Chains A and B, each alone.
Chain A
């Protein structure tokens, strides 16, 4: 077994353990025997209808965020990149907020995630068209930043124009990101898209490896930049778009997880993809367990916790890196 196999097995074990723990976390106390079909009908209902979708979503959403972060950091050769940078998160948030604002979300349950998906797709298409087919990665980042700001501005506009404080509050709460009260319908909507997107992202490994030597050298090594760009953007739009559409914005997972794991796999971008997916799943499960076990009156929103922990942690990473490479 290589070091990477140990890492993957360790991460897989962590995800499995946290998944079980997540099923057991929540307001109602369940016993472990519920897992084996024992206990009251109520307990069974809570486990299968409430806890399971929530835990499943934590796994796939975390995996999508972690892997897309690793891919985008490799693609842009920028350790600060994540899905937010190319407008996916902001686009998905705007799409979802518009369904809330227009009242569409109240009409049928899946209107909200579908709105988010459309928003993500639109944002990435715009970034792709703006950046042009043969443009450099820098142009892509700039186009992403522009679309990102514009989507955020439109979201603010929707908040500003909200008919009443409750509508505004609903939007704000959704934006904070949460896995609470999601059903199997959400899982079955998001899972195929997230998996399809992650399959596209997995195909970028060799291209990302080559890109660590620069765009020209990557092309000289036989990498097709237009194809790579399509895989990166399409994969991110599908996986993170679907994730944000179902959970709202959950920050810092995509940024922090690849950072943490990169030294463990020898910094090779292709080797980082799978560990980052598992790491993202583990981190999101842990965060979602934490907010349910914290003795607070109001359950914290998931996005709030990840940002609260993620931001200082990221600072710590920066300071540590600066010490190593002054």
Chain B
């Protein structure tokens, strides 16, 4: 699925949050949305998810205006992982993951305890991909923070959408699961899913994302391959840091050294 954003402006109260954003993402792209705190990353993601109507500008999904898309259809095409997403009730892991199928069950009016085989399949796959099979019958309140993050990711994957918008999915994961997450998302992009993730880990973004969109002060300041965007000059301009950018074993390494 491709998504086009044209001349997008967003204000919250008097404060301009996003200004003049133009962005064209094609199917199968794996995009890292980066930028300092308050740059407008989450707001842009929420606009793309159709949760926040922009004050100006247009968003198109496969050349159809996003706001003209019926609610349920939008829910099937876009999976959105909220920042700090969590489940309020101590439900079972597989029940939480099954919530990702709500856009389908609403239409079929099927009792959710009698999920059809397709639904079942999506849920099982999402559990496997997120390394949760062993935990599927555990209650979420007994899980660690990182395990809960994975449950939330699995919930998003279970929808089976063609566009995935994830707000800081790597936060709170241990290094092994961070790598697993990024590999999984890269594989999803290879299958044709458009993946947009907000990240703070520069090295992780440089290594896995094929495209980096850098935001600062509500504007797009850079857009390109990780090599083009994540260089010492750009990092000092946007983040105000001096950083070591190098490589080891052929993989990119970015190490923030000092604030400027």
Contact = CB atoms under 8 A, between A and B. Distances in A.
A212 interface: yes
B82 A217 contact: yes
B46 interface: yes
B99 A214 contact: no
B102 A222 contact: yes
Contacts of A210: 99, 102
Interface in B86-139: 86-92, 95-96, 99-100, 102-103, 105-106, 112-113, 139
Contact of B86 (A2, A214, A267, A325): A214
A263 to B, nearest CB: 9
Contacts of A269: 89
B167 to A, nearest CB: 10
Contacts of A267: 89-92, 139
Contacts of A2: 113
B99 A213 contact: yes
A4 B111 CA distance: 13
A268 B88 contact: no
Contacts of A325: 141
B85 A214 contact: yes
Given A266-B92, A266-B95, A213 B75 contact: no
B78 A270 contact: no
A233 to B, nearest CB: 20
Contacts of B78: 220
A270 B112 contact: yes
A182 interface: no
Interface in B12-51: 46, 49-51
A216 B99 CA distance: 14
Interface string A203-231: 00010011111101101111110000000
A206 B105 contact: yes
A77 interface: yes
B219 interface: no
B64 interface: no
B88 A213 contact: yes
A221 B89 contact: no
B143 interface: no
B6 interface: no
A273 B62 CA distance: 40
Nearest to B78: A220
A222 B75 contact: yes
A220 B80 contact: yes
B99 A219 contact: no
A217 B78 CA distance: 11
B220 interface: no
A269 B99 CA distance: 12
B149 interface: no
Contact of B87 (A212, A216, A222): A212
Nearest to B165: A220
A209 B99 contact: yes
A255 B137 CA distance: 28
Nearest to B73: A222
B112 A219 contact: no
B79 interface: yes
B74 interface: yes
Contact of B99 (A4, A212, A224, A266): A212
B143 to A, nearest CB: 13
Contacts of A220: 49-51, 75, 78-80, 82
Given A221-B102, A270-B112, A212 B79 contact: no
A214 B152 CA distance: 12
Contacts of A4: 113
B113 A219 contact: no
Contact of A222 (B74, B92, B95, B96): B74
A206 B102 contact: yes
B91 A222 contact: no
Contacts of A221: 75, 99-100, 102-103, 159
A216 B82 contact: yes
A262 B92 CA distance: 13
A268 B74 contact: no
A222 B71 contact: yes
A220 B73 CA distance: 11
B72 A222 contact: yes
Contacts of A212: 87-89, 91, 96, 99
Given A2-B113, A213-B155, A216-B46, A206 B95 contact: no
B80 to A, nearest CB: 4
Contact of B71 (A77, A224, A268): A224
B60 to A, nearest CB: 18
B91 to A, nearest CB: 5
Interface in B135-180: 139, 141, 152, 155, 159
A314 to B, nearest CB: 18
Contacts of B51: 216, 219-220
B206 to A, nearest CB: 28
A205 to B, nearest CB: 9
9 contacts: A209-B102, A209-B112, A212-B91, A220-B75, A220-B79, A221-B100, A222-B74, A223-B102, A325-B141
Q: List the 8 shortest-distance A-B pairs measured between CB atoms, nearest first.
A: A222-B75, A220-B80, A267-B89, A222-B72, A77-B88, A222-B103, A221-B102, A212-B88
